[in-house]
Amino acid sequence: MSALSIDPVLGWRLWHVRLHGDEYRLESFTWHHVSWPPKRRFEATCTLHREAAPVAGHECGIYAFTTRALAEDLLRRYTGIRHRYGREYRELPPVRRGRPIALGSVSLWGRILAREKGFRAQYAYPYELHLIGGDDRIAHELRDRYAVDVSS
Amino acid sequence: MDIGVPETEREIEITPLEEPVPAPAPVEAPTEEPAPA
């Protein structure tokens, strides 16, 4: 049986910030070219379970960590190659120029499967972002597009 | 993303009174240019 609540869960995660046409958009960190829609909730889908995601016993859903530190740990091990992570650096690594990354908090709601270090959620929307490897112009653009606070 | 082992998983159902998605900006009504006197 699941616990019921009306307050969204706040998780932490990373996004790539990439150009879609002439617009900078948040994009999934682990799935290539999966863009988060501005001013609309992002909905989990699964090739197997479709809109029923996230499903217990599977790995589908929108992922987020419980803490900022865990999201930073992932960034420290980021090599720039999808699904390949290296050793953990003590400092956050320099992001390649023109390849900005957003670190931030994210509201999660709907059906959520919680583990000890994070969540798999049905719905999500960014709450607050910190832009790494970008500039003020991109931060301003993301702030306008997603209507959330963006620091850089 | 390593969020922990599946054995620790528990289900939560969140139904917010209002979804935490910003409302689209209201469309401003066009203002008429003042007619020249």
Chain B residue numbers touching A108 (CB-CB < 8 A): 14
Please check whether residue A126 lies inside any domain of the structure: yes
3-state SS record for B4-37: CCHHHCEEEEECCCCCCCCCCCCCCCCCCCCCCC
Residue A1 lies in a domain: no
For residue A122, being part of any structural domain is answered with yes
What's the mean per-residue pLDDT of chain A?
Answer: 88
The pLDDT tens digits of the residues spanning A62-106 come to 999 999 999 999 998 876 545 555 555 555 655 666 789 999 999
Domain encompassing residue A38 = 9-151
ipTM: 0.74
Q: For residue A9, give the chain B residue with the closest CA.
A: B14
Question: Nearest by CB to A115, which of B9, B22, B23?
Answer: B9
Q: Is residue A146 part of a domain?
A: yes
On whether residue A52 sits in a domain, the answer given is: yes
Q: B22 contacts in A (CB within 8 Å)?
A: 39, 146-148
Question: Rounded mean pLDDT of B2-26?
Answer: 89
Q: Which residues of A touch B (CB under 8 A)?
A: 1-9, 13, 29-30, 39-41, 56-57, 63-65, 74, 107-120, 123, 125, 127, 146-148
For residue A36, is it within any domain? Answer: yes
A4 with B9: Cβ contact below 8 A: no
The answer to the question of residue A4 being in a domain is: no
Report the number of distinct structural domains present in chain A.
1
Whether B28 has its CB under 8 Å from any CB of chain A: the answer is no
d(CA A40, CA B13): 20
A35-39, A83-87, B8-12, B15-19: which has the minimum mean pLDDT?
A: A83-87
Please tell me if residue B26 touches chain A, with a CB cutoff of 8 Å. Answer: no
Residue A137 maps to a domain: yes
Nearest to A42 by CA among A22, A28, A58: A28
